[in-house]
Structure 1
């Protein structure tokens, strides 16, 4: 029988980041099975770049290099950047995105635990704004051999019509904006599977499995994943019920794009996100709302990254306004002096 006092063992950054990497493995495996092994090449490139950049910045800042590099935080950032990028982007774009995340977003703000913005999402937004064509080249599920993917990653010729296809979100947006098709008609295209993008349902299942693993180990809390998924389902469901010809169902939005990766691995970033329980709910709900608005009315087919960065700006206000009351004190100005 266990008696009080109840003292938790300190959780190291290395252990936490290692578990996050382990939780990403099911999604990576599904990614390889559905799209191809090219993503593994870019994961390797991103990991080497992140570790090298981390070591260089720590050296320039005169901080201990060996200890900080081994905490795996740079590797987690590298993996998240890679999994947000198309798996056949050229190597230099992956390197550029990781350098933005590690050097500009993480270390220029003071290093681990100091960055106000999500590094992977800054990397994604900067690259899609700078190189929109390359960041839109997603290969169709199961239709591109590994040697072709490797050639494209290493700088081979890029025949756009032969190597890429529209993602589910992009195909839906383009079909609806053409003004001649309903959602049901668009969803008959080759880019779509049973629920969302062809094959992406299984990738989403992989990320869900990893997310549940993190929840079971209490690496993340339920607030952000539940708020993100519930808000995205609620807003998309309301518009779908009101006009199913013009708006996709909640299942489509949840099973397409980076929704499940975002719900369990992006939104839950402990550094750039809200920290209070109510703040976490509002933070994740805001991201889901912005993502849905951009998906349906914006210039980009996916809006999660922009939603994360906009809500990062709101974190100080959310944390200030949602602080739980201190035991024995009222949470208002009038009672503060009593």
Structure 2
């Protein structure tokens, strides 16, 4: 009897170990969900839908984009962190959901580095500093000198407190030792409209949003917040080239799954996402909006995301931003 008990226990243990491997080999066997923690029709949503279409072709299963906006992305991030760790629920994560929000909110209910497993990076994207063409600022140095001479006199718009458009300005103020007046809006659209109207002097915005206005002479591009020049604005210097290397700030995105997702499933997803981000048509489409693949997979991307937490926390502290 004891012999049979030991045999049954051994069989049960083997089955327990083999079952996840078998499930991973069959993965995916049904549709997947990609949670986008932001509203539809934005940059994140557009990138996610392109990713979903391409992933579906590679994985052989539908990939459904589900927008779950709110709390600067934390509502969607929390939903994925609490989902079943089977690889069928993914998060379009960003520097905000994985790092900056930990300093922006007092009541974050998840710990992204522990509760979400990095799968593969997507794209890095920088903003560009633009000024209304009627202002006297023809270079970044013109702006900095004016802000130094009259602290608080230069006003800048943003898409809202804690957004990349706000934090990029905070980074510049810290690097240049200047003080400007923040005018936050509920979204990038209203902010840009007021800069174009001359109600606010400057703002950091995304290249695809401002390039047409720069070309039309309505806005003047002063500097790129990223580490490299943009194909869409090849004559616009980076912050480093303009003399303020510590003002550089790039946002980023990537795919995450709930912690505890089997390694084999993560590897399958990582391979598929890597194929998507390397595809020539995807690279070209993203370059057109000044987004560039990062090329980090699995553990390498996990380390990157974890290292970003203290960096973005410092930027948030510099900005003084807090969200309820």
Q: Provide the TM-score with structure 1 as the length reference.
A: 0.26
Answer 1 or 2: higher relative contact order, Cα 8 Å, separation at least 6.
Answer: 2
* Structure with the larger strand share: 2
TM norm structure 2 = 0.27
* Higher helix residue share: 1
